[in-house]
Amino acid sequence: MSTPFRLRDDGIDLFVRLTPNAALDRLESIETLADGRSHLKARVRAVPENGAANQALERLLAKALGVSVSAVSIVAGGTARLKTVRIAGDRAMLAKKIEALGQQS
């Protein structure tokens, strides 16, 4: 299984498939697409208007990964379901936490 993130000098880029307007905010499993790319599935209660769902995703990831909200930013896919989220911090620690999230489900 490929990983749903790419290591960077100052952290990681995490690939996420976001479902807005869900019953609750939660991170689900790591899913692999037919082309072999992986992403973390996430759901948020917020609606996809005025960036509300993206902000909810940033808060959810910050809490789950133990980083500040300011360390999390969506850098690609702002209006799409598939997003790239840049997370600043210790790469090894972030990678370990993301892999653990994928195994919880």
CA torsion, ordered 21, 53, 82, 24, to nearest 10 deg: -40
Which band of pLDDT confidence, cut at 50, 70 and 90, is reported for residue 87?
very high
DSSP run (H or E) holding 64: helix 52-65
Sign of torsion over alpha carbons 46, 78, 28, 5: negative
- Per-residue confidence (pLDDT) for residue 20, from 0 to 100: 95
Domains of the chain: 5-104 (3.30.1200.10)
Asked whether the whole model's pTM tops 0.75, one would answer: yes
Residue closest to 15 by CA, chosen among 68, 64, 82, 60: 82
pLDDT per position as a tens digit, 2-59: 789 999 999 999 999 999 999 999 999 888 888 888 999 999 999 989 999 999 999 9
- Per-residue confidence (pLDDT) for residue 2, from 0 to 100: 75
